[in-house]
Amino acid sequence: MMKPIIALYRDLKDEHKEKLQEMAPDHSVKVFHEVSEYDLDAVEIILGWNNEWDESILEKMPNLKWIQKETAGMNAINEKVRQSDKLLLSNMSGIHADSITQSVFAFILSHYRGFYQALKDQQESKWNQTYYDDLVQANERVLLIYGTGALGKQMAKIAKAFDMVTYGVNTSGREVEYFDKTVQSDQAETLIADADVIINTMPLTRDTRNLFDAKYFEAMKKEAIFINVGRGESVVEDDLIGALEDGEIASAYLDVTRIEPLPAESGLWQAPNLVITPHSSGAVEHFRDGVFGVFSENLAQYLKDGTLARNQYSYSKDY
Amino acid sequence: MMKPIIALYRDLKDEHKEKLQEMAPDHSVKVFHEVSEYDLDAVEIILGWNNEWDESILEKMPNLKWIQKETAGMNAINEKVRQSDKLLLSNMSGIHADSITQSVFAFILSHYRGFYQALKDQQESKWNQTYYDDLVQANERVLLIYGTGALGKQMAKIAKAFDMVTYGVNTSGREVEYFDKTVQSDQAETLIADADVIINTMPLTRDTRNLFDAKYFEAMKKEAIFINVGRGESVVEDDLIGALEDGEIASAYLDVTRIEPLPAESGLWQAPNLVITPHSSGAVEHFRDGVFGVFSENLAQYLKDGTLARNQYSYSKDY
C-alpha cells in the first residue's frame, strides 16, 4: 500500500522538503506535478492551489483531508470545496503582515510629512516651503482598522509605537492586543467620523463587498485618509474618485483594485491625492521561508491530533 | 528697582505667557519688542534669538544670564556669545524628534516597499509588477545613526518596533536605550560596511563638516541608503551625486543642503534615486506648545537653583 502523499503545488527549498519528510516519516512528500494520475487517491494534504481546479478534485482525491493555501485569500478555491465539512482548510494570512504594514505606513507617513508635494516640487527643481505650517505628525491621530487578525494587529502595534490611537473592527467586537477599542462590524459606523486614517484589511466577504461607497466617504472627516489593502471589490471606485475630487477626504492609497491589472483607461490613475501600488504591498522577501514556517507548524499539529495550529479557514465565518 | 525681564523674542500663546508669569512672580515676562532700549539691562533671560545680533548684546544686556533658543542648531548664535562662560545656553533639540523620525521612516519604508517606482508608473497609468520580487521589509536591516540624543533615540525606538538592528554613534560610545550597539565617533568607520541605512542627525561641528564624502559612500554597501537630516555642510554633495549615479549606494534622502533654498541649477534635483524635502522634516504641528514645554521645564529648574533641566549647550563639546 502506498504512503499517503503531502503534495506541494509549488516547490519548496530542498532543505525544507527534507525537514517535512523527517517530520512525517509515514507520509511521502512530493511536488504535485510528480504525482501520477493513478496516485491521486493517495493525496492527503496539498500545500498550494491551482485556480483552475473545481469541485471534481473531491472525487479525484477522495482521501484529501487538508488544503493549506499559499496566500491569504480563499475565494480562489471553488465554493463547493470550501463548503466541504470533510476538509481542513487554511491560508497564509500573517506572513504578509510586516510587508503590508510597512507599505501602509510608507503611505501614512509620506502623506503627513508632505513627501508627495515635495516629490512634485523636486520634478520642477523647486524648493517650496509654502506647506511647511500644514505638516503634522501621526501622533494622537486615530486609526480605524477593519480586521484585527494578524495583519490588523501588526498595524496597530506599529501605530502605538507612533503614539496613535487604534480602533479595530471585527465580527464579535472582542478585545485585541494593541487596540485601544474594538467594535463589532455593525457598530463600525459610529467610529467613522472620529477616524483620521481608515484601513481596510478584510478579505472579500458578503459584508465587505462595496462597503466603501459615496455614503461612507461622506461620513469621513475631510482631513482623513482611506487605505485599501484588502480586496478591490470592497471599494466603489467611482465613488472614491468623486470623494477625492470633491475634497470629501484628503487622500487615499489603494494596493488592490476591482480589475487587476488596473486598465490604463481607469479613472483611478489620474484621481487627485491617490497613490496606487500594483497589489505589491504584501510582497515578501524570503516568501518561501514564510510559507514553510506556517505549513510546518500546522503539519506538526496535524500529525499529532488531526487539527491545525493556525490560520484555519471556516466557510460559515467566511474567513 | 525694575524686575528682571524674561524676554520672548517671538510671542507665545497668552495662556502660556500667563503660566510663565505665575511661575516667576519676581520676574517680568515681556515680548522682546516691548522691551525699551533703556530696560535692556534688566533682561536676564531670552527665549529665542535674532540672527543679526552679535557679541555687542553682552554689553547691552549686562545682566543676561540665559539664552534659550527656539530651534536645535546653535551656529546662528555669535561665536563670542557661545563662548561666554557667564551665560547659560540651551536649544530646542527634541521637540522635532517625532516629526523628523516620521519623515525619515516615510522615506525608508517608501524605498523598501517600492513606492518611488509605483509613483513613476502611476504617472504613466502603468500597472507594473516587474519589481515585485525585489521588494523587501525593514525587518532585521541595520540602521546606523550618527547622534544618539533625543532625535537619534526616537529613531532607534521606531526602528526597534520594525524589528531593525540599531547602531549609534556618539562622542563617548556610551550605551543608550533602544540602541543595540553604540560606538565612539572615531570607531564609526568600522560599522559603515554593515549598515543598510545610514542617518546623519548631527549638528554641524568640527567633526561632521564634509564627513560624508566619496570615500565614505564607497565604503557603504551597494544596497544601502543614506539620509541627512542634520546639516547640509556634512555632505559633499557632488560626491553624493556621483555615488548615486554610479550605483555605489541605492538611494538617498536629503532634508538639508549646503545652500538653502537649494538653487534650481543644483545637480541634486536630477540625481537618480534621491529624494529632497525643503528642510521640512522637522516642521512641528503645535510648535509653540513644544517651545513652551521645554522652556517652562528649564525655567522651573533655573528659578530653583540656577541650572537647566535639559537641552543645555556647551561650546567646548560644540553641541
Per-residue pLDDT tens digits for A32-91: 999 998 899 999 999 999 988 999 999 999 999 999 999 877 888 998 999 988 999 999
Of the residues B79, B140, B260, B286, which is catalytic? B260
Cα distance between residue B240 and residue B252, in whole Å: 8
Flag whether pLDDT at A318 surpasses 70. Answer: no
Contact A280 B129 (CB under 8 A): yes
Measured CA to CA, the distance from residue A256 to residue A236 in angstroms comes to 12
Class of domain B97-276 (CATH, top level)? alpha beta
Nearest to B125 among A103, A114, A269 (CB): A269
Yes or no, beta carbons of A162 and B163 under 8 Å apart:
no
Bridge partners of A46, per DSSP, are A7, A67
* Contact flag A136-B285 (C-beta cutoff 8 Å): yes
Catalytic residues of A, which ones?
231, 260, 279
Query: How would you label A133-144 residue by residue, b for 16+ Cβ within 10 Å and e otherwise?
Result: eebbbbeebbbb
Q: Which three cell numbers stand for residue B58?
A: 553682552
- Position B318 scores a pLDDT of 61
Cβ-Cβ contacts under 8 Å for B94 (sequence gap 6 or more): B149, B150, B151, B294, B310, B311
A293 inside 8 A of chain B by CB: no
Most confident of A72-76, A177-181, A283-287: A177-181
Q: How many angstroms separate the CA of residue A59 from the nearest CA in chain B?
A: 36
- Within an 8 Å CB–CB cutoff, is residue A103 touching chain B? yes
Active-site hit among B113, B258, B279, B288 = B279
Instruction: Output the nine-digit C-alpha cell for A250.
Output: 484628503
- A225 and B CB contact within 8 Å: no
pLDDT above 70 coverage of chain A, percent = 99
| CB contact A122 to B (< 8 Å) | yes
Q: Are the beta carbons of A129 and B278 separated by less than 8 Å?
A: yes
pLDDT level of residue A2 (50, 70, 90 thresholds): confident
Pick among A125, A197, A223, A289 to test the B interface (most B CBs inside 10 A): A125
| d(CA B193, nearest CA chain A) in Å | 22
Q: What are the distances in angstroms from CA A117 to CA A16, A98, A128, B277?
A: 46, 27, 9, 9
Does the beta-carbon distance from A137 to B99 stay under 8 Å?
yes
B278 to A128: CB separation less than 8 angstroms, yes or no: yes
Domain limits, CATH 3.40.50.720, in chain A: 5-94+287-305, 97-276
> What pLDDT is stored for residue A114 in this prediction?
98
Model confidence, pTM = 0.86
Whether residue A228 is predicted with pLDDT greater than 80 in this model: the reply is yes
Contact assignment for A118 to B285 by CB distance below 8 Å: no
Q: Retrieve residue B195's grid coordinates.
A: 549598515
Peptide bond between residue B261 and the one before it cis (omega within 30 degrees of 0)? yes
- Contact list in B for residue A275 (CB cut-off 8 A) is 115, 118-119, 122
CA–CA distance, B108 with B227 (Å, rounded to integer)? 9
Determine contact: A190 vs chain B, CB below 8 A: no
B157 part of contact set with chain A, CB < 8 Å: yes
Tell me: pLDDT of A16 over 90: yes
Q: How far is CA B48 from CA A110, B35, B291, in A?
A: 30, 14, 10
Rounded (5°) CA angle B214-B218-B219: 120
Asked if the C-beta of B289 comes within 8 angstroms of chain A's C-beta atoms, the answer is no
Partner-chain contact B109 A98, CB within 8 Å = no
**Crossing angle of helices B115-123/B97-112, nearest 10°?**
70
Residue B116 Cα distances to A107, A256, A272, B251, B277, angstroms: 11, 17, 17, 11, 14
Residue B245 designated active-site:
no
What is the rounded average pLDDT of the residues A123-129?
97
Q: Do A278 and B129 touch (CB under 8 A)?
A: yes
Chain B residues with beta carbon closer than 8 angstroms to that of A112: 102, 106
CB pairs under 8 A between A and B: 150
CATH architecture of B5-94+287-305: 3-Layer(aba) Sandwich (3.40)
| Joined grid coordinates for residue A65 | 483531508
Residue B258 among the catalytic residues: no
Where b means 16+ CB within 10 Å and e means fewer, A161-194 reads: bbebbbbbbbeebeebebbeebbebeebeebbee
Residues of chain B with pLDDT under 50: none
Please provide the distance, in angstroms rounded to a whole number, between the alpha carbons at the two ends of chain A. Answer: 37
- Does residue A315 register a pLDDT over 90? no
Distance from CA of B29 to the nearest CA of A (A): 27
